[in-house]
A = this chain, B = another copy of it.
Amino acid sequence: MNTARKAEKNRNHKPVAVVVADDFEDSELLVPLERLEGAGFSYELVGVESGKTLTGKKGQQVVTDKAIDEVASGDYRALLIPGGYSPDQLRTNEKMVSFVRDFCDADKPVAAICHGPQLLIEAEAVKGKNMTSWLSVKTDLVNAGALWVDKAVVEDGSLITSRKPDDLEAFCSVLIAQLESVN
């Protein structure tokens, strides 16, 4: 199937949920969004509030589409968790944690980069999983029972993790491949 037809087909799918708060790592939010759009997948930015302007660590701004109160994992095809200090903030919100846990329980694609796996620790979704992360999160992942690996991208079933902005190319490719494989 050529790229245009593939993108057309992808447009019929539920959007990808992207959970985000202030101090996100700018490229780890914006590059995957661009790649998803390019492949024809839609997405929604889910925050603690909807219509809220959020500012990344390097100053990029985005506006949330939905509040955590008004969404359910069933409305989405997959979950994307960008890094930076956004996951540290989101993990203190019980509804956000429960939303994340629902994607893991349903074996939908969950892609977390850098500090993103902090939210997966909070959702108790890392035990026995092969994963990677930003180095500062390694010990917390290991203490939570994950099997930490130093690789650009690690796939364990529907769970996709990466370490840092330099890994974005590999991270996005694996996410898009998983999204297309469930077409």
Contacts and interface: CB of A to CB of B under 8 A. Distances in A.
Interface stretch (A34-42, A68-76, A137-145, A168-176): A137-145
Interface string A124-150: 000000000001100110011000000
Contacts of A144: 139-140, 143
Interface string A88-120: 110110000000000000000000000100100
A81 to B, nearest CB: 14
Contacts of A135: 92
Nearest to A144: B143
Interface of A is mostly: helix
Interface of A: 23, 85, 88-89, 91-92, 115, 118, 121-122, 135-136, 139-140, 143-144
Contacts of A136: 88-89, 91-92, 118
Nearest to A91: B136
A144 B143 CA distance: 6
Contacts of A23: 85
Given A88-B115, A121-B140, A143-B143, 8 more contacts: A88-B88, A88-B136, A91-B136, A91-B139, A92-B136, A121-B143, A139-B144, A143-B144
Contacts of A91: 136, 139
